[in-house]
Amino acid sequence: MRNVLITGASRGIGAAAARLFAENGDRVFLNYCHSEKNVQALCQELTDKGYSVFSIRADVSDPQAVRRMFGILREDSIDIDVLVNNAGIAQTKLFTDLTDEDWDKMIAVNLSSAFYCCRAALPSMIRKHSGRIINISSVWGQIGGSCEVHYSAAKAGMIGLTKALAMEEGLSGITVNCIAPGVIQTDMLSPYNDEELQALRNETPTGTLGTPSDVAHAIYFLASPASSFITGQVLGVNGGLC
């Protein structure tokens, strides 16, 4: 049984990934910051089915909170085998309107959090000469998004982190990969109206929007033995958008 930590696991992609890992026999730790009701409901749903899942609260944009979270895990002799850096926020705003606070928060939640969690998880992975890290970026980190410059920059940074860390940890038996979802039906689409959503469908070659399950299956594949010779890669789950 592997120990899997998924950040931002209370809903959307994180929750879908948690379900998939749990259903396949892994012990899953659902990290969350604010959405306690959501994560507790998910834990109840999965434990009622006999799966091994646990919630763990931490603001992963705070390095001290990440240290405490991993400290709690170590106290129970739990080493993380699979780390999914999924926590993220979105904001649509003109570049000229962005404040220092907007920028700092976006980078902290969408990029620095992955750095903090990787830094905390790697020592035990290196010691065991085994581990999987999957970082969640975005298609906008690849091509850029108008009115989402800070979001695009953070997600592009996630790609750079992935590629460099994969180079560094390859000989340690650890793979580091990145998924760049396209337009996925999650809460992040709530600011868009029906007309805007249809425009996004029209821009996607498949003519559809993705689902959290689409991304979750890609995450699970990159965490599986079938992907052992894949590292430093960016897998687009985007319906052909990029």
**What pLDDT sits at residue 125?**
98
**What pLDDT sits at residue 191?**
77
Q: What would the CATH number be for the domain defined by 3-237?
A: 3.40.50.720
**What pLDDT sits at residue 197?**
83
Domain residues of the chain, as ranges? 3-237
**What pLDDT sits at residue 203?**
87
Mean pLDDT for each 10-residue chunk of the chain (242 residues)? Answer: 96 97 98 94 96 97 98 96 97 97 98 98 98 98 96 98 98 98 86 84 90 97 98 96 86
3-state secondary structure the chain: CCEEEECCCCCHHHHHHHHHHHHCCCEEEEEECCCHHHHHHHHHHHHHCCCCEEEEECCCCCHHHHHHHHHHHHHCCCCCCEEEECCCCCCCCCHHHCCHHHHHHHHHHHHHHHHHHHHHHHHHHHHHCCEEEEEECCHHHHHCCCCCHHHHHHHHHHHHHHHHHHHHHHHHCEEEEEEEECCECCHHHCCCCHHHHHHHHHHCCCCCCECHHHHHHHHHHHHCHHHCCCCCCEEEECCCCC
Instruction: List active site positions.
Output: 151
**What pLDDT sits at residue 186?**
86
